[in-house]
Chains A and B, each alone.
Chain A
Amino acid sequence: MNHGAGAAPELHHEERPELQPHFETPEQQFESGKFGMWVFLATEILLFGGLFCAYAVYRALHPEVFVYASLFLDRVLGGINTLVLICSSLTMALGVRAAQLGQRRLLIAMLSVTLLGGAGFLGIKYVEYEHKWKAGLLWGTQYRSQADGHALEHGEPGTHGTDAASHDGSAPPEPPAPAADPRAALPPAAAAALPPSVPIPEGRTFGDGENASLLPPAAIGPTGMRAPEPPPAAGEQLERRIRHEPRNVHLFFGIYFVMTGLHALHVIVGMALIGYVLFRSLRGDFGPRYFTPVDIVGLYWHLVDLIWIFLFPLLYLIE
């Protein structure tokens, strides 16, 4: 870093220790740093672009896999994570502003909050990953078929909020036990008129109370027709969809884990960079004349947010 120190430095190099000897002016150094960062961000976009391309091709060819697999993604947790990242992006932008204005305490506070936001994002991500790990919602040969509905028994999916809540814990209501003696359902007069030797097949009484009778009401349909079943409850509907599993669902989870995993890796790297900038701002390195590292780390953090903004609807909001 300090090579060339033997060369006669210009006056403003002495005044500004952060100005590297290979730059003429602070402006040139600042512009070069940002230019280099934008070129790097372009390569990041190309890196994720390849994954988005894989996503698009597989979704175009096998939409049923994506619709099915999205049943197991919790769009509430994903949405909360989106909000967490957006909030940490705001605090990062406020931190850059504080650095530009030389507000050191505000800069430190904003960087700390941003770091917390990153940690919160990873925490929620961990909860999601753990659910999928336990339910066998994994890539390739690690994937465990969900057709037996075992994910339901483990509280998975946490999907669709209300669906999961209606399914959690509470067992489906038991069908009413059939009456032991059909005669008991009849009015006493009707029951007395029937000798005990006359068998009454189960389920052959109609109506109840005073109106109970062995004769079907005239309005009932022809024999063999059943009254239409009421639409299944939301939880039951979800269970049916889960049991009807298409083949090769592991494709989706391969794409899901690579994309969100690479993104989570970027969050970790971004947190390390923010930690470094936080350390330097505690040391008092930054001020209105020099804040390039804060600005550049901010750009990286915003890009991480930007990528998640596209990942979230594509992975979580499939219907």
Chain B
Amino acid sequence: MSSEHSAAPAAPEVHVVPIRVLVGVWLALIVLTVLTVAASWVDFGHLVGEPWLNLVGALTIAVVKGSLVALYFMHLRYENPFHGFILVTALAFVGLLIGIAMIDVQATRPDLIPNYAPALETPASPTDLPPAP
């Protein structure tokens, strides 16, 4: 396939991604997807006593997969870095939104559902909840 690559009269400013790279990225995405589903069954976080590791692990795999898609399928690695800057800016603002919202959740712990927030207190049993107004 490399012969057709060199023979093609592509516009000079455009980078043609080799098929080898595209298929390699695709294989990596498949493997990572299978890995993240398998990890959810194994429940690694509970095995080591840190359940939050499940979420961190799944999100890490998702970030790696997303980076592969953006860098190779969306050509960010090869083209004008300003496009990548736009993407990173958008992600940064989403990060700000979620980050500040989470700080607010931690700081004020609002009860979004009136009189019901079992995650906040630990009632002895579900029936110990305060009665609805």
Contact = CB atoms under 8 A, between A and B. Distances in A.
B112 A309 contact: no
A57 B111 CA distance: 11
B11 A289 contact: yes
Interface in A9-36: 26-27, 30-31, 34-35
Given A62-B113, A102-B8, 20 more contacts: A30-B14, A38-B83, A39-B86, A46-B94, A49-B94, A52-B94, A58-B112, A60-B106, A61-B119, A62-B118, A86-B26, A100-B14, A247-B116, A288-B11, A302-B70, A305-B69, A313-B40, A313-B59, A313-B62, A319-B40
Given A34-B83, A90-B23, A93-B22, A46 B98 contact: no
Given A58-B112, A64-B119, A313 B98 contact: no
B98 A52 contact: yes
Contact of A61 (B26, B51, B66, B112): B112
Interface stretch (A75-83, A169-177, A179-187): A75-83
A231 to B, nearest CB: 16
B129 to A, nearest CB: 8
Of the four ranges (under 10, 10 to 19, 20 to 34, 35 or more), the interface on chain A belongs to 35 or more
Interface residues of B, number: 67
Interface of B: 4-5, 8-11, 13-14, 16-17, 19, 22-23, 25-26, 29-30, 33-34, 36-37, 40-41, 43, 45-46, 51, 54, 58-59, 61-62, 65-66, 69-70, 72-74, 79-80, 82-83, 86-87, 89-91, 93-94, 97-98, 101-102, 105-106, 109-113, 116-120, 126
A97 interface: yes
13 contacts: A30-B14, A49-B94, A62-B118, A64-B119, A90-B25, A93-B72, A94-B22, A97-B22, A101-B5, A288-B8, A303-B74, A309-B66, A310-B66
Given A42-B87, A302-B74, A306-B70, A101 B16 contact: yes
A38, A92, A310: which has the most chain B beta carbons within 10 Å?
Answer: A38
B54 A319 contact: yes
Given A79-B37, A306-B69, A45 B87 contact: yes
B14 A302 contact: no
Contact of A101 (B4, B29, B73, B93): B4
